[in-house]
């Protein structure tokens, strides 16, 4: 990439831009090695000290055994429940934001989930980023006794039903899947309007959901080509569907598939990406901490 700054100047310009506007985050804080509470705690504390904006969980209630596509992980990989893990992290950090990446809300009772996430938002004093998705593993829905084909419709309705419980002094909701009135669910969410909803997925339905119902969109494990295509699709979707003014600007988060470099950061910044949620590298707790330290020193200090 020709900039006229020279390699050192280019690197410093990129890093200054990161410090100014691009947010860096860590994915998988509840998975694999980091399902160990000691490692989860040490990585989270180190990430906060290094200047990372947030840490993000993954979620699958169950995994197919044996692993078959499109299952993302081997069946015996430990994966702690997102709100449980993030509550634990909230207690040992003070500024680090806590992202669910993503919570499969169509698999949940939305009234219970609203209480769960409002509680996490309260305990963390407003640090929750509520990443959501419809899900894509049919065996997971079957194990939960849920209709796989209804997952999109449930996801759309559940967002609205949860927001009502997070924000209303007198919550009422009447939908196809959710109906309530004459109830209270306290506390309300800590954040005004409820935690920001960040919609994951690269389907037309996910793009429409992000534009019409979400404060953000999240693309997982993408290269620059697929990231560019998804962002273009979001723009095309925004021309077809109205976006409520209350949602503000759509924030773009992406987990890049490649190792982080100055050139990659510059490319994603040029695309208009607001947050990079990094896949962590390391086979031991010490290696994970070294990864956090390296990214912090190279890009955040």
Residue 138 domain flag:
yes
- Any domain includes 296: yes
For residue 64, give its domain range: 22-300
Compute CA distances 132 → 11, 214, 259, whole Å: 34, 9, 25
Domain count, the chain: 1
What single-letter DSSP state applies at residue 272?
T
- pLDDT at position 21, please? 81
Position 11 in a domain: no
pLDDT digits (tens, 9 = 90+) for 112-151: 999 999 999 999 999 999 999 999 999 999 999 999 999 9
Residue 51 has pLDDT above 90, yes or no: yes
How do residues 182-233 score in pLDDT, each as one tens digit? Answer: 999 999 999 999 999 999 999 999 999 999 999 999 999 999 999 999 999 9
**Does 246 fall in a domain?**
yes
Which of the four pLDDT bands, split at 50, 70 and 90, describes residue 263? very high
Asked whether residue 3 is domain-assigned, the answer is no
What is 35-84 written as a DSSP string?
Answer: GSHHHHHHHHHHHHHHT--EEEE---SS--SS--TT--S-TT--B--HHH
For residue 289, the domain's CATH number is: 3.20.20.30
Please give the Cα distance from 52 to 292 (Å, whole number): 9
Examine residue 12 and state whether it is found in any structural domain, yes or no. Answer: no
């Amino acid at each position: 990439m020709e900039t006229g700054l020279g390699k050192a100047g280019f690197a410093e310009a990129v890093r200054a831009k990161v410090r100014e506007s691009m947010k860096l985050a860590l994915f998988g804080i509840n998975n694999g090695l980091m399902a160990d509470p000691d490692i989860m705690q040490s990585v989270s504390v180190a990430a906060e000290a290094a200047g990372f904006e947030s840490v993000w969980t993954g979620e699958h209630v169950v995994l197919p055994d044996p692993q078959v596509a499109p299952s993302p992980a081997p069946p015996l990989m430990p994966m702690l429940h997102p709100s449980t893990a993030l509550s634990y992290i909230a207690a040992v950090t003070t500024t680090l934001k806590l992202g669910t990446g993503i919570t499969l809300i169509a698999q949940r009772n939305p009234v219970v989930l609203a209480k769960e996430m409002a509680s996490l938002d309260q305990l963390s004093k407003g640090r929750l980023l509520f990443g959501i998705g419809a899900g894509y593993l049919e065996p997971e829905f079957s194990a939960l006794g849920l209709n796989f084909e209804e997952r999109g419709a449930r996801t759309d309705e559940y967002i609205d039903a949860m927001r009502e419980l997070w924000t209303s002094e007198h919550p009422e909701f009447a939908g196809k899947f959710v109906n309530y009135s004459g109830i209270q669910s306290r506390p309300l969410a800590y954040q005004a309007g409820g935690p920001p909803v960040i919609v994951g997925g690269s389907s037309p339905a996910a793009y429409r959901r992000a534009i019409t119902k979400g404060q953000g969109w999240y693309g997982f494990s993408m290269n620059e080509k697929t990231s560019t295509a998804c962002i273009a699709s979001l723009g095309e979707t925004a021309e077809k569907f109205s976006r409520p003014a209350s949602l503000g600007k759509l924030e773009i988060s992406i987990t890049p598939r490649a190792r982080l470099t100055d050139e990659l950061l510059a490319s994603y910044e040029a695309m208009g990406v607001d947050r990079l949620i990094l896949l962590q590298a390391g086979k031991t707790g010490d290696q994970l901490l070294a990864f956090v330290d390296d990214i912090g020193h190279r890009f955040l200090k």
